[in-house]
Amino acid sequence: MTAPRDREKKLKAARRLAEASSIGIAFPIALGIGYLWGSWMDRVFGTEPYLTYIFSGFGVVAGFVNAVRVAFRLSREEEDEG
């Protein structure tokens, strides 16, 4: 009877680990999207480099917000289990 329970615990731990490691991928993607969007808008509107700076900042903020959301969600799940 303990084998399915142990397997379930291992699967939950692996899922949490994968979700936590996704922060390392999501943060640079958010920054890159912000930078590319700002660059494109600078070329369209001729406002170089201001929109690139602004949207890169938005990308950094989005990356941090995502990291905090994931951290709170994982923390809440661990508290619910323990």
Q: What is the pLDDT of residue 27?
A: 93
62-76 residue pLDDT tens: 999 999 999 999 999
Buried/exposed 4-30: b ≥16 CB within 10 Å, e otherwise: eeeeeeeeeeeebeeeeeebeeebeeb
Pairwise CA distance, residues 66 & 72, whole Å: 10
> Which is higher by pLDDT, 78 or 39?
39
**What's the pTM value of the predicted model, to 2 decimals?**
0.83
The answer to whether the beta carbons of residues 31 and 60 sit under 8 Å apart is: yes
pLDDT at position 1 over 80: no
> Which is higher by pLDDT, 58 or 12?
58
Residue 41: band (very low, low, confident or very high) from pLDDT cuts 50, 70, 90:
very high
pLDDT at position 80 over 60: yes
